Structure 1
Amino acid sequence: MTTRTGELIAAARDRALPVVRALPDDALDVPTPCAEYDVRHLLNHLFHVVVGFQALAAREEADFSVTPDRLTEYGDGWRERFEKETALLADAWSVPGADEGVAGSMNLPAHTVGAMALLDLTVHAWDLARATGLPYAPDADGLRALEELVAAMGPTARTMGVFGEPAPVPAGASAFEALLASTGRDPRWNRREE
């Protein structure tokens, strides 16, 4: 029996993998909606998050202070390694009890920490897709879980610099676009406008 968090992360992984597999090598230096990252740096950040949140699910320490250059480390096999690491992430959060109690060194409820992993995998997959013109749509169940997380933790995340100030929500915005805006992203961001 898998945990609800593990199921949501597995579904988010299924949505993110086609984006990562399709990323062209010549797009690694293009900007993303995540202002401080180009595609290469965002991938390295996402690798780091995926590995760190595996440790947190297992109640181990995770160091987020330095982001390794995983793309250089894995060479031409970085897409396959991303597939493997995200499978390990989903597996780690699928272990019975993984989303109960307190998770690792973050000293937060495990359910919240798992939702943070889900948020990174979902929003950064959109960042990568948007930067490179690839299609992306989040898992509907995961989106509902993320709406709850962002509503509860948004102010703290902004204070800590994890989210930017909320962006305007365009007229007729979808629930996902509203979520993106609440993290400080322009949900209609277009690379050509940068």
Structure 2
Amino acid sequence: MNDMMPLMTRATERTARLVRAVGAEQLGSPTPCAKFDVKDLINHLEWVATMFESLGRNGPRVEQEPYAGDFPERAERMLAAWSRLEAWEGISPGMGLPMTSLAHMWLVDMVVHGWDLARATGQAYEPDPEAVARGLDFTIQMVEMGRQRGAFGPPVPVPDDASPFDHLLGTIGRNPTWTP
């Protein structure tokens, strides 16, 4: 927990700032995540925040609700749930994975979906290098399970000398050069 919470917090705060800056006219814009426009992506983030708050309190998986426009508030509640030591213990009854794996899943979601949102809305985005490194290490270990569960797409080739962040994006199926 000690090393992950700061990474999770910084990545969450970056993504929340991006969400706050989205204008109503941008909600229908496409994103690098082909199944989502901007509104759908924010709604996905809302659901993920609510679900990970529940999981951090040893609760069940939750169903996605309609778009509410309150991701930053949900994200704060999620971080509060995970700031408790007991949130990091054992296996999640809702997901069947170690709690530390769930924390890494959150981190990857915040880093990658932050980029998705920034690209789609023309905002600047620079992920935390340490979060990228941790996310890439975790993703490489979990990529096949992620693809089987539909969380990741087919890999996108990137040059060997590409940045770690571009490697993370390519590993999960994002094209690092995507533009709207």
TM bin (shorter chain): over 0.9
For residues 173-188 of structure 1, the aligned pairs below 5 Å read: 173-188=162-177
For residues 33-112 of structure 1, the aligned pairs below 5 Å read: 33-64=32-63, 67-71=64-68, 78=69, 81-112=70-101
Q: Kindly tell me the number of residue pairs found equivalent between the two proteins.
A: 180
Aligned partners of 1:163 and 1:183 also within 8 Å: yes
Aligned counterpart, 1:19: 18
Distance, in Å, in 1 between the alignment partners of 2:162 and 2:9 is 26
Name the aligned partner's letter for residue 83 of structure 2.
S
Name the aligned partner's letter for residue 168 of structure 2.
L
Distance, in Å, in 2 between the alignment partners of 1:175 and 1:41 is 27
Aligned partners of 1:157 and 1:163 also within 8 Å: yes
Structure with larger RCO (C-alpha < 8 A, sep 6+): 1
Q: Is the partner of 2:43 in helix, strand or coil?
A: helix
Aligned partners of 1:50 and 1:89 also within 8 Å: yes
Aligned partners of 1:30 and 1:131 also within 8 Å: yes
Q: Which runs of 5+ in 2 are unaligned?
A: none
Distance, in Å, in 2 between the alignment partners of 1:7 and 1:121 is 13
How much has 1:27 moved relative to structure 2? 0.7
Change over 3 Å in CA distance of 1:148–1:100 after alignment to 2: farther
RMSD, aligned α-carbons? 1.5
Aligned partners of 1:3 and 1:97 also within 8 Å: no
Distance, in Å, in 2 between the alignment partners of 1:54 and 1:185 is 26
What is the TM-score when the length of structure 1 is the normalising length? 0.87
How much has 1:63 moved relative to structure 2? 2.4
Name the aligned partner's letter for residue 40 of structure 1.
K
Q: Is the partner of 1:98 in helix, strand or coil?
A: helix
Distance, in Å, in 1 between the alignment partners of 2:174 and 2:53 is 26
Q: Which runs of 5+ in 1 are unaligned?
A: 72-77
Name the aligned partner's letter for residue 125 of structure 1.
G
